Structure formats: C-alpha cells, structure tokens
Amino acid sequence: MRFLSFLAIMLSIGMGVLMITFSAPEGGQLQNEAPEKPIRLPEPRYDSATSVEKALLQRRSIRNYAAKSLTLAEVSQLLWAAQGITESGEGLRTAPSAGALYPLEVYVAAGNVQDLAAGLYHYRPGAHELQKIAAGDVRQALSSAALGQDCVEEGAAVFVISAVYERTARKYGDRSSRYVPMEAGHAAQNIYLQATALNLGTVVAGAFRDDAVKRAMGLPVEEEPLYLMPVGHPEK
C-alpha cells in the first residue's frame, strides 16, 4: 500500500515535470515556428475604368511615397497582376512563362498595410492567399541590402520577385539564365501597370546585394531575388 502511494507521488511529480517541459516554450520559439493559417485575399477585380493604353501612358517609376497605408484589396490586386491564376484548368497565369514552368515566387514585405500585420508573406497563386513567413518589418533590412535606397524602406509594402532557376533549367538547361529574368520583367511590368491603374506608385529596384536580400528574407539557397518593388501612394 505504502509502495502504491509512493508510486502515485512519483508519477504525479513526473507528470508535473513533463507539463513544465511542454508548456515552457509558450509564446517562445516553438510557437513562432508553427505556420500560421494562410490569409485568404480579397477576390481581385477583372475590370476597371483605366484602359491598358492609359496605364501604359501614365506608368512612371515612383520613388517618393506619402505615409499612407495600402488596403488588403490593393495588395491582392497587385499580387494577382504579378502571378495570379487566369485559367484554372492548367493553372496558367497573368504573366507568360517558358514551358509554363513558373519559376517565379512573389513575396510581400508589409509595413503599412491595413488588416495585415507587419511581416514577410509568401504569395500562393493557386488559392490566391498569403502565407506568413516571418513577423516584423523587414523593409529597412531590404533597403540597406539595396545599397541604402530610401524608396525601398518608404513604400507601404515591398513586393519581392524571386526565382527558382532549376524549375526552368530542368527542361531548358542554360537557356534558363535568359528565360527566368525575362519572366521577372513580365511580372514586374504587370505590377507597374496595375499600380498605375490603382493610382499607386512603384519602381523596380534591381540594385541590391543578393546575399543580403536572401538573408533578410530567409530565402532558401536555391531561390534568387530578382526585383524589389516598393509600392505606396505617390507623394503629391
């Protein structure tokens, strides 16, 4: 009987220790590592009062932004313009892709976006949603990686176009070194024209240290950043 009580006490002490061990990381690293639920983006619009001709005429690189937030609907529209799905059967997108192999990835470094906490988000075209990758504002880190360009820090959000060259190289070999940057250009021009139609401003920044951008974003080794595009309301 005494042995059973001893066993019960030892068991409850053991359970206590286990409970402490498992609950210790509360609010700490383990919780941060668990992926958050993806953020479903508002449905993009497929029409507007701005013609393609007007957007082409008005497109300009804008580097000075007002301290005004973007809406989640604007972010959604810009992401759709960059890489959104336009033909669900084969998953074809707004921008052309050699062999429809889609080597590009698009990220949003949000700093001043309504209903989107400051952080780094990955765009998933299939479900038109954002997956949070990291909390916290990385615009300043991206700006210093971009040789201190102020515009990168001052946009309400920075859209980053990166690429996994291997997806294209598997079929096209060395030709991928031409095809992939061409595709980034298509996606970037779509963002330019969409921003113009939304009365927003953007600029492509290609001048940056690749390794510093990769570090700031925690990009996988096989992924190369190609363009940083700060977006904001043009300063009047």
Ligand X SMILES: Cc1cc2nc3c(=O)[nH]c(=O)nc-3n(C[C@H](O)[C@H](O)[C@H](O)COP(=O)(O)O)c2cc1C
**Where along the sequence are the contacts to ligand X (CB under 6 A)?**
60-61, 63, 149, 203-207
Question: Taking the complex as a whole, how short is the minimal distance between the CB of residue 192 and ligand X, in angstroms?
Answer: 8
Question: Taking the complex as a whole, how short is the minimal distance between the CB of residue 151 and ligand X, in angstroms?
Answer: 6
83 vs 149, beta carbon nearer ligand X: 149
63 vs 132, beta carbon nearer ligand X: 63
- Scored b (16 or more CB within 10 A) or e, 141-180 reads bbbbbbeebebbbbbbbbbbbbbbbebbbeebeeebeebb
Question: Taking the complex as a whole, how short is the minimal distance between the CB of residue 208 and ligand X, in angstroms?
Answer: 7
60 vs 68, beta carbon nearer ligand X: 60
Question: Taking the complex as a whole, how short is the minimal distance between the CB of residue 199 and ligand X, in angstroms?
Answer: 16
Measured CA distances, 157 to 22, 39, 57, 130, 166 (Å) = 37, 16, 24, 14, 28
76 vs 202, beta carbon nearer ligand X: 202
Question: Taking the complex as a whole, how short is the minimal distance between the CB of residue 206 and ligand X, in angstroms?
Answer: 3
Cβ atoms within 10 Å of 44's Cβ, excluding its own? 16
41 vs 205, beta carbon nearer ligand X: 205
164 vs 228, beta carbon nearer ligand X: 228
Residue whose Cβ sits closest to ligand X:
206
Question: Taking the complex as a whole, how short is the minimal distance between the CB of residue 163 and ligand X, in angstroms?
Answer: 14
Tokens of 208: 């940056």
